Structure 1
Amino acid sequence: MKRMKILYFIMMALLAFSCDDFLDEAPDNRAEVDSQVKIRKLLVSAYSDGNYALACELSSDNIDDTGELNPNSTRIYEQMANWEEITEVDNDDLKNVWEGAYLAIANSNQALAAIEEIGEENLLAEKGEALITRAYSHFILVNVFCKHYNSATSDTDLGIPYMEAPETTLNPKYERGTVKEVYEKIDADIEAALPLISDDMYEVAAYHFNQKAAYAFAARFNLFYENWEKAISYATEVLTTNPSSRLRDWTAMGELPRSREAVTNAYINDPADLLAVPTGSSLGLYFGAFYVGSRFNHTEKVAEEQTLNAPMPWAPDGVLLGYFNYRPFVYAGNNLDKTLFYKIPYLFEYTDPVAGIGYTKTVMIPFTTDETLLVRAEAEIMLNRNDEALADLNAWTRAFYIPGAETTLDDINTFYNGLDYSSEDTPSQKKKLSPGFTVVAGLQENLIHYVLQCRRVLTLHEGLRWFDIKRYGIEVPRYQIQSNGTVKVLDVLEKDDLRKALQLPQDVISAGVEANPR
């Protein structure tokens, strides 16, 4: 189906398309979306092709700068890693994140308008998918481009324009509103969508917001929204009464041939995956055994001190490779320092096979049963349901590591009490926490440290660590490894640093949307 002229009304203000682009389009053809089949085809495009993961991962504490003598970088990677305004153009730039999300939202809204016009009696499942995709795209936008939700300040913190209907004016003016208003609208869309979603409408449910993916999203959203009870309830809808049976088979992953293609293909085709989203991105190339991106990457130093091989309550001397059911891939050579979990495929779509040119692609898995289990564990900790949280954490570590990788509340308390907070001179996994909500010192804080560490390891390379940094006000020093092996701190992202709200694309600002303060 042709792109409808209506989408370009939105782009005029939000994406700053040229007049020529606008005039080249055919007349408004919304009336063509007049059947269930056409609505379902439209909803295929309600999932963004823009990928936020690389910008968020490079902004986080999961990477080091291996030094100026390493030539394997580009200006845009340097800008992302150093929290600068992104001026370069790339497959993974923030303009693609913004454009992709709003184009997906436009398709969701067009589907909703068509459903209302036709009559929703026989289109309830389609309405559910349109609402949940609209909510999810706005959720990504508000968490990338705004301050994190905070019940004390979000009624004044800048949000993003929340699009609830197809645009019908030539040059609309958009107000950003507040983070609180955006969260309220996301919440309303989720609550309206959940009862309507039906897996029966999908030929391949994994590529759509099926019921379990929708509840996993609802669980994560409510965790971010500080609705702990709802987060637990929705996560339980995904995990059922036997969560261990729902987790990824990490042992089987570890028995696969040690090749990028074998393990990434298995990862994106596992029953633990709740949603698969193809995107245009170099993420699989960047976090693969290639020199691309090796200057700013997840180094052996980060792995040893803070992530994969850092101490845990059940391995206080450090996590050895023998502890993993699915072992990381370690590359150490001249200007190649990457310690990786292969999960993100590197795909290439040829536009001209003869010339060998085309687009880098990947498939992202935004929601898994494993991550949803850790969402529930964190919410349980916030409600002081510590035994339940411990059971969930042990279920995950037994699956991800080895069967003996489990612990007790006393062991967690003792371990984190004995671990110094991370500092610029001595990095560790234990970060000073400054969330907008209350975390009580002692056992509750120590359990939060543990669940954040588990999620950091599980979601490595996916960008989700960045959202935990924002949620918990974690400081991030940017380390640069010098040619003599010493380490220099180039900059520090403070707990309330304005740069944690990534800057809007310049085209969007030029079109009249208010920029983030700096």
Structure 2
Amino acid sequence: MKRFKIVYIVLLTMFAASCDSYLDETPDNRAEVDSQTKIRKLLVSAYPAGGYTLVTEISSDNVDDMGTSNPNTSRFYEQLANWEDVTEVENDDPKQIWESSYNAIAHSNEALAAIESLGEENLKPEKGEALITRAYNHFVLVNVFCNHYNKSTSSTDLGIPYMEKSETTLNPKYERGTVADVYKKINADIEAALPLISDDMYEISAYHFTKKAAYAFAARFNLYYENWAKAKEYASVVVTEDPLTVLRDWAAIGALPRQPDPVTQAYINDAANLLALTDGSIAGVYFGAYYHGSRFNHSKKIADEQTLLAPLPWGATARADFNFGPFVYAGTNLDKTLFYKIPYLFEYTDPVAGIGYSRSVTIPFTTDESLLVRAEAEVMLGEDDAALADLNAWSKNFFKGKEATLDQVNTFYDAMEYSSEVAPNQKKKLNPNFAVATGTQENMIHYVLQCRRILTLHEGLRWFDIKRYGIEVPRFQIQADGTVTVLDVLKANDLRKAIQIPQDVVSAGLTANPR
């Protein structure tokens, strides 16, 4: 659809000190949104066109530095892996996250303004979608660019500007507010949206916030907001009382030819997906069987010690235990252990010349992940039996019938030392700003976090668990001769866990994250 001329959606216009070419346009030279059809078309653009996957995944403990002899990197990837403020320009850089999220928010706000003008009585589903997309995009921004929410410091931690209306002036000035303020406003938008959303308004529901997608988002938000009971309530709408009936068919994917294209296509078309987003990302190449990005990637060492092939409470883990097993590449300068789910797509702008854009599809919400949200909430509520039942439902479906008892979980994690720089493993020391009791509760949290780390590998969600639980991240460098060194350690409350906001925005007057 033709883009609307909204002041703050044009390349950082919302924060730019000047924009000479744009000043030639009348400030309110916008397409008129005066019908239900136009509102629905407008809301197609209320979803971000740029995701956080690469930024947060490379920043996490899911990648190793495969050494200076590996040439398959770039300055951008090095900055992410070493937790430096990003200065390089790439399709997947933080600036793209910032711009695409605020661009989407602008469309949500235009839709809301049109709905208010036309009258809300017959436009409730459209209002619901506008509110939930506005909430989701702010949720992405606050969790990428700010300290994670907690009840101790969020009333003073820097937030991000929460846009609640379309901008009508040139060169507006904004304040960042606080993380607590942003979360409060996200919560208000979610609660207002949930009763309004109707699946009947969507022609192709996969790319929109259906009711289940909205509840999956609400569940994750409330988990991050430390509202455990509400997180469980909302996740239960998604996964029901019989989660095995709605989880991904991992066995069907595992039965496909072991080639990236058929398995990634099956993944993005599975009924367990609750929302699909398309973006101009190179993630499908980065987490594919290509040399590109192989210096900073998910290595076999990480897979063996910490993730896919590490032991679990029910015993040792081998590739044969998976319904859909990992792909292991261990050649020279290509040490990647991959769990294919992100397709590599190419949009040709000139087929003759063979040039165009790398694109991909990401799945931000699934029934499997919502089940783990419910399990974590149940652990925090002290409902160990319910949490274990959910974890077993997930593990029986993901692996080939594997499940554990509470005694096995306790025995397994009690016997395991905390991960260290000398002997890394899956059991990271937890430093959250909320209480986690030693013993069963902590052990169950370790198990939930491990299941989520495996499930969401390559998706970037691990980064948010690192922030939520104050997990330290050593950056291991592995040289060609096998020598392992620790280049740096991201501490529990390290300021670098808040990705720096784009330099253009800082130059225009918005306060930078402290370092």
TM-score by length of 2: 0.98
Structure 2 equivalent of residue 250 of structure 1: 250
Task: Give the alignment's Cα RMSD to 1 decimal.
Answer: 1.3
1:501 matches 2:498:
yes
TM-score by length of 1: 0.98
**Which whole-Å CA distance do the structure 1 matches of 2:24 and 2:277 have between them?**
30
Structure 2 equivalent of residue 360 of structure 1: 358
1:457-472 matches, within 5 Å, as 457-472=454-469
Decide whether the 8 Å contact of 1:39 with 1:126 is kept in 2.
yes
**Which whole-Å CA distance do the structure 2 matches of 1:3 and 1:336 have between them?**
41
**Which whole-Å CA distance do the structure 2 matches of 1:418 and 1:393 have between them?**
20
**Which whole-Å CA distance do the structure 1 matches of 2:266 and 2:112 have between them?**
35
**Which whole-Å CA distance do the structure 2 matches of 1:489 and 1:24 have between them?**
53
1:42-61 matches, within 5 Å, as 42-61=42-61
**Which whole-Å CA distance do the structure 1 matches of 2:163 and 2:248 have between them?**
36
Decide whether the 8 Å contact of 2:286 with 2:292 is kept in 1.
yes
Displacement of 1:206: 1.0
- Structure 1 counterpart of 2:250, which letter? W
**Which whole-Å CA distance do the structure 1 matches of 2:312 and 2:380 have between them?**
21
Decide whether the 8 Å contact of 2:8 with 2:14 is kept in 1.
no
Decide whether the 8 Å contact of 1:13 with 1:172 is kept in 2.
no
Structure 1 equivalent of residue 121 of structure 2: 121
Structure 1 equivalent of residue 173 of structure 2: 173
Seen in structure 2, the aligned counterparts of structure 1 residues 514 and 314 have a Cα distance that, compared at 3 Å, is same
Structure 2 unaligned spans of 5+: none
407, 423, 437: which one aligns with 1:426: 423
1:369-424: CA deviation from partner (whole Å, max 9, x where unpaired): 00000000000000000000000000000000011x10011110010000010001
Decide whether the 8 Å contact of 2:12 with 2:505 is kept in 1.
no
**Which whole-Å CA distance do the structure 2 matches of 1:492 and 1:114 have between them?**
49
- Structure 1 counterpart of 2:344, which letter? Y
- Structure 2 counterpart of 1:228, which letter? W
Seen in structure 2, the aligned counterparts of structure 1 residues 10 and 187 have a Cα distance that, compared at 3 Å, is farther
1:103-122 matches, within 5 Å, as 103-122=103-122
Structure 2 equivalent of residue 303 of structure 1: 303
**Which whole-Å CA distance do the structure 2 matches of 1:98 and 1:517 have between them?**
18
**Which whole-Å CA distance do the structure 2 matches of 1:164 and 1:455 have between them?**
33
Displacement of 1:4: 3.2
Displacement of 1:9: 7.3
Seen in structure 2, the aligned counterparts of structure 1 residues 299 and 9 have a Cα distance that, compared at 3 Å, is closer
**Which whole-Å CA distance do the structure 2 matches of 1:17 and 1:203 have between them?**
41
Displacement of 1:168: 1.1
Structure 2 equivalent of residue 386 of structure 1: 384
1:260-279 matches, within 5 Å, as 260-279=260-279
Displacement of 1:18: 5.6
Seen in structure 2, the aligned counterparts of structure 1 residues 342 and 385 have a Cα distance that, compared at 3 Å, is same
Displacement of 1:12: 5.2
Displacement of 1:515: 0.1
Displacement of 1:19: 1.9
**Which whole-Å CA distance do the structure 1 matches of 2:15 and 2:249 have between them?**
42
Displacement of 1:8: 3.7
1:262-313: CA deviation from partner (whole Å, max 9, x where unpaired): 0000000000000001011000110000000000000000000000011100
SS state of the match for residue 38, structure 1?
helix
1:282-301 matches, within 5 Å, as 282-301=282-301
Structure 1 equivalent of residue 437 of structure 2: 440
Structure 1 equivalent of residue 221 of structure 2: 221
Structure 2 equivalent of residue 484 of structure 1: 481
Displacement of 1:176: 0.3
Structure 1 equivalent of residue 472 of structure 2: 475
**Which whole-Å CA distance do the structure 2 matches of 1:98 and 1:255 have between them?**
39
Decide whether the 8 Å contact of 2:14 with 2:171 is kept in 1.
no
Seen in structure 2, the aligned counterparts of structure 1 residues 432 and 313 have a Cα distance that, compared at 3 Å, is same
**Which whole-Å CA distance do the structure 2 matches of 1:285 and 1:424 have between them?**
30
Decide whether the 8 Å contact of 2:8 with 2:106 is kept in 1.
no
450, 474, 487: which one aligns with 2:447: 450
Decide whether the 8 Å contact of 2:27 with 2:168 is kept in 1.
no
Displacement of 1:20: 3.6
1:9-408 matches, within 5 Å, as 14=14, 16=16, 19-23=19-23, 25=25, 28-30=28-30, 32-315=32-315, 318-403=316-401, 405-408=402-405
**Which whole-Å CA distance do the structure 1 matches of 2:156 and 2:442 have between them?**
28
